[in-house]
């Protein structure tokens, strides 16, 4: 357990509404990541952070934004949710270097109706 | 060519036998290689990492890397029903980590 907590665990929302998912870690890791996992696509990186206020885009960043105002919290926001954003979202941290061993949170199941 | 390729399975293996999971990758600049296990409805869990050619053993698990052939594999000895899961191969270089889509492993009691 790398001390990662995701909230909420489940969420159902309507198309066009904003949604924020939270990732909280307790072990002061520098690198944090947001992934989505969909059948047929596997895990895909949305955004990652390499420090407070330092973030960068992943391969599927369109429609998502992130913020990291504190080391322990990494927020993922869907500004206007669409049905294509229905997915399981995982937060992860890496111990040590960027893109090294990843440890994942429990995930958030998001359904956009 | 897909960046990280795995057979989706399911791979069915009798209990007590050796399960062999394979992964190929396309980027010769890849530096780090990982195997994750994911139970249905759960998050991926890191089980092995390997960085240089050859074998690395950890308990019942052995990871094998052949950079010349761009091939990484995971062997599970004495397979148990609790090993039934999806196994994700991940390949990393400095600027990115790419996951395969996973192989479903089913251990037959």
| Paired tokens of B13 | 């293996």
pLDDT at B96: 84
In DSSP notation, A37-79 reads EETTTEEEEEEEEEETTEEEE-TT-TTEEEEEEETTEEEEEES
Q: Which residues in chain A have Cβ-Cβ distances shorter than 8 Å to B94?
A: 98-99
pLDDT at B1: 60
pLDDT at A95: 81
Q: Does B88 touch chain A (CB under 8 A)?
A: yes
Q: Does B22 touch chain A (CB under 8 A)?
A: no
Give me the numbers of helices (H) and strands (E) for chain B, helices first please: 0, 11
Q: Which residues in chain A have Cβ-Cβ distances shorter than 8 Å to B102?
A: 42
Pairing of strands A108-112, A10-13: parallel
- Please answer yes or no on whether B101 and A41 come within 8 Å at the CB atom: yes
**Mutation target among A95, A99, A100 for the B interface, most CBs of B within 10 A:** A99
pLDDT digits (tens, 9 = 90+) for A60-103: 999 999 999 999 999 999 999 999 999 999 999 998 788 889 99
Q: Does A7 touch chain B (CB under 8 A)?
A: no
What are the φ and ψ backbone dihedral angles of A8, each rounded to 5 degrees? -75, 170
State how far residue B3 is from chain A, nearest Cα, in angstroms: 12
pLDDT at A83: 97
State how far residue B33 is from chain A, nearest Cα, in angstroms: 9
Nearest partner of B73 among B2, B1, B7, judged by Cα: B7
Q: How many CA atoms lie within 13 A of A53 on its CB side?
A: 0
pLDDT at A1: 57
Q: Are B57 and B109 in contact (CB under 8 A)?
A: no
- The answer on pLDDT for B29 being more than 60 is yes
């Amino acid at each position: 357990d790398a001390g990662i907590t995701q909230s909420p665990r489940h969420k159902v929302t309507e198309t066009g509404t904003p949604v924020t998912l939270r990732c909280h870690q307790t072990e002061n890791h520098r690198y944090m990541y947001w992934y989505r996992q969909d059948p047929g696509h596997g895990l895909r990186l949305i955004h990652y952070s390499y420090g407070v206020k330092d973030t960068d885009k992943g391969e599927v960043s369109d429609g998502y934004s992130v913020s990291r105002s504190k080391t322990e919290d990494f927020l993922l926001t869907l500004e206007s949710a669409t049905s294509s954003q229905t997915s399981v979202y995982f937060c992860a941290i890496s111990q040590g270097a960027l893109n090294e061993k990843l440890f994942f949170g429990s995930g958030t199941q998001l359904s956009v109706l | 060519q897909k960046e990280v390729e795995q057979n989706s399975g399911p791979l069915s293996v009798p209990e007590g036998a050796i399960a062999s999971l394979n992964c190929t990758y396309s980027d010769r600049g890849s530096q780090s290689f990982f195997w994750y296990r994911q139970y249905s409805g759960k998050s991926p869990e890191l089980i092995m990492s390997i960085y240089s050619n050859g074998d690395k053993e950890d308990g019942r698990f052995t990871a094998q890397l052949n950079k010349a052939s761009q091939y990484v594999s995971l062997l599970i000895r004495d397979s148990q029903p609790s090993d039934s899961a999806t196994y994700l191969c991940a390949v990393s270089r400095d600027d990115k980590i790419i996951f395969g889509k996973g192989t479903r492993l089913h251990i037959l009691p």
